[in-house]
Structure 1
Amino acid sequence: MDERLNIKENLQLILSTLPEKPGVYQYFDKEGKIIYVGKAKNLKKRVSSYFTKKHDSPKVSVLVKQIINLKYIVVDTEEDALLLENNLIKEHQPRYNILLKDDKTYPWLCITKEPFPRVFKTRKIFKNGARYFGPFSSLATLHVLLSFIGEIYPLRTCKLNLSDENIKSGKFKVCLQYHIHKCKGPCEGLQSEEEYLQMISEVEEIANGNVNAISTYLQNQMSALAAELKFEEAQIIKEKYDAIERYKSKSIVITANLDDYDVFAYDEDDKSAYINILRISKGSIIQGYTIEYTKRLDEPKEEILAMAIVELRTKLKSKTKQLLVPFLPDLELANVTFSIPSRGDKKKLLDLSMQNVREYKLEKLKQAEKLNPDHRMMRILNTLQKDLKMSNLPMHIECFDNSNIQGTNPVAACVVFKKAKPAKKDYRHFNIKTVEGPNDFASMEEVVYRRYRRMLDEGTPLPQLVVIDGGKGQLGMAMSALRQLDIPARITVIGIAKRLEEIYFPEDPIPLYLDKNSESLKLIQQLRDEAHRFGITHHRNRRSKAQVSSELDSIAGIGEKSKKELLTHFKSVKRLRLASNDEIAEIVGSKRASIIYKHFHPDLSL
């Protein structure tokens, strides 16, 4: 008790001396380990709030109880605080901090620092003087860029040490790339370093997104050569110019009137936050990138977006002064303007960024579900439980459907889904026994009663959810059957009406309308459709069997064995009727064949 009192007194002493300046604070546990790093515009107000007010978030309350000591670092601006906070989080990875998912595997475009630099893709960054452009969130995008560069610039791909001394000594010989015009042979001194570095300079401009500048430069160069009557050289430049124009046509151009922007979109779920950036230069999208943060303390989205903006602009070396955002982040940047567009081209850009962040989120979800198929099942069932306000997770669901055509051969079907998937071995058919004529309501009451009477007698676990294919009438009769068995409180029962896909609950006249794209509705529809298919199949089989039986049973002297042999061979009564006496005789003999043929052709003599 005394130890805890001393800790509290020590913290209060530190709090009383905190400056009212921007900075970063660090919380330590009893083992001296950093458990949380935060930034603040005003250190005194921000840090004191942890210890002087009651927190709504249980996670924050748990954090505060573990704080034994704290330290802080004062900085000049809020932007500096964000950068320092980012660096400390990456270095120490505190338990309670939002955590940036590892993105080391994203590819970059590398231009080496050596005589006659090489250009290639890489996933590793070394501090060797090379220049790196990226990262590229899509490998396909980088391949397109490299393919385009290779199309118009004959750069070397070898790893030879092309020092001036080696070239002059004749150490190297040109390779196949030279002979197919993919390289100009600098290894043999056939291309000057000055000319080669001019190509590298143009490649850098393209990698930075300044395609329009290169296009204008080539156009001017082409015109100058043409004016000097150097038409062959002008044609070579024209081919480069045309290639760049084709490349530009493949990129997304918003409008020539737009300035340079960084566009940010934000989306989240319970565990993660996703932020996308689109970089716009001269009206074109030159780069798109998405990052993911793992949330730890129910951080406000304004703080997460602020952290992501600093992270992404630092990573992509962006100096753009105009930022388009879905909401204002908890951030102030010197000489930078934030705006929330509501219409026009800027709103379209924001919508496109949001589309990208949602695609990224969906792709991550698909990857997780491939690695763990139960993840998708639990997500769907949790959603269904929430939508239907169920007390238990619907791991076992059953659905009933009646089938009769013009009142004949009434049957019902019960299909069973376990863990959101069909359990076909548990499907059941019911022939209606106690109901005369086409009465769907009474038939539903009968089959529901029979199904759960048997499950109770056998001690089989009951389902958590029962779906009735029909509206309030069928639902009411199903509930009547469950009340007779004294089990309505143990099962959630709903009805689904076909016309508007309305979901009905017992004793509630107002239906529930689920979003047509919701996974809950899709699962209920799948149950309903499967029950209908299963019921119809059984009904058709029963009608067919009844028709076959009545036709052949009426022929005196033809037993079950003969009927089976005839149907096995001819497949149907219709084909049997069209068969000749000799064809029938081959199956059941001439005596029985004569009887059968006369039955189908009473007016003909053999």
Structure 2
Amino acid sequence: MSFDAKSFLPGLTESPGVYRMIGANEEVLYVGKAKNLKRRVSSYFQKNHPSPRIAMMVARIERVDITAVRSEAEALILENNLIKSLKPRFNILFRDDKSYPYIAISGDEAPRLFYYRGAFEKGVRYFGPYPSGWAARESVQLLQRLFMLRTCEESVYRNRSRPCLLHQIKRCTAPCVGLIDKAQYANDVRLATLFLDGRHSDVIDNLGVRMQEAADRFAFEEAAVFRDQIRALQTVLHKQHVDSGKDEDVDVIVAVQQGGLVCVNLAMVRGGRHLGDRPQFPQAGGEGLSPADALLAFVEQHYLDHPAPAKLVVDGAESDTVQAVLAEVVERTPIVIAARFQNERAWVEMAQLNAGLAIETRLRESGRATHQLEALRQALGLAEAPRRIECFDISHTQGEATVASCVVWEGEGMKKSEYRRFNISGIEPGDDYAAMRQALTRRYEKVAAGEGVRPDLILIDGGKGQIGVAWEVLSELGLTSINMIGVAKGEARKAGLEQLIHPDGREPQLLGGEHPALHLIQIVRDEAHRFAITGMRARRSKTRLTSKLEDIPGIGPTRRKKLIETFGGLAGVKEATVEDLCRVEGINRKIAEQIYNALR
């Protein structure tokens, strides 16, 4: 049955909404949203469609379903929910990239410089986004060296009685104890802001004026500080290759196809400085995916969540087409161009090179993962190589703050978006078996009810006891068809000597340190261990920090005040060693040990 577009399109509404392209056997081919449903849907039925992939999809359409909504925001939410639930074959989905880091400067009395991820807050100025956490942290360290702004939390800042280590190593001017006046510190904050805005010449000019003023007052040590700042800044700018020489914000987006894979690489230029790039691969690519299709899909998804800069330099799709897509998702459409000048061509070439390297790495890892999965299938005697592996681990400190982790390997690597932690409660402290039972029950009772994703293989970090409890849980839930194996640590906990424990009572299996299946098991097991430990530490820290010094025997108001003043707050007391605590007036070693143990 062919779709009669001529009779369907005239009756379409011009409201915002979501459309679903339906193929044979009620298969959902594509889900999209639009500001104007009539204009957007009509664009698919042109005689000469620019995308072969979309032309292929249009040829399969038998029906178009329309849902009109009240606003673009509602259309976005509905589209997102439908794509996740229906998984249409022609939708291109990239990994969730909402975690781009920023550099922030707070609006406090003595503004704080810090690395930040998350939702924006009022009163804080954000600079970025940066393509990676490394790039943002490197910039924070650079700003510390140049302008020596504080980075400490407000609670620590308010309770300092003496300068911290950062002041001693010349990374902070110690506004907490008044070693720099407010006007001078405010000027340093202003210079850091100008630097982050890309106004490097203004920063250098200002430092030059201050250096000359200090020299005129014969304050040569002060002048030398400004001189060193200027030299450091000039060195940074000199090392910054591919600097545009302009105070401009640009995103460089290229799409490269190689070895059957398509990679979209996003490079970020802020204030004329190239901050690095981030390669992106589609999670689901549909059929006939071209670089242009991938680039357009990435642009639409990325700029829904992140502000667009004033200019985009693109390679892999027509700039006019990219601009039309952006007009659908941003309020102020940036300028979209192909590379014209030398610096723009250099940015594009760098992005293309890094995209090619990312593809080579992905292909190499993909081949290795396929080999490891097949080796695992053979070693465990499975009918098919597992596509999804889930691994559980338990972590606690002497029974305190017990946390269970569940990490997921799917496809070609770890799928962090589906990791889960379980805060364990209601058990005897230190009872790992009860903790494992609780975690597995909470994870798989939904699977038993027909909800959630069913794994092909479950790994349990533990020996016979843990695997026995885990198998009991699966038996109670009627899920014994899921393959399960325990990973027991070898002699002296040496890597390569791990034993695989089978729930059916077979002899433990020793694969050997060079076996590719064991390499895969170690990767997943170690990730579960890491995820459990970080969760446990976070939970323990939160629990302990909420406890008060008042709860410790022998710590009265005078000693509490001394401790807070000496270490700048409860967080500082928590980090202190027994020897550090003993140096506080009125604290002997016995009391120091009590404090140390109580806060841990």
| TM-score normalised by structure 1 residue count | 0.47
Greater RCO (Cα-Cα under 8 Å, separation 6 or more):
2
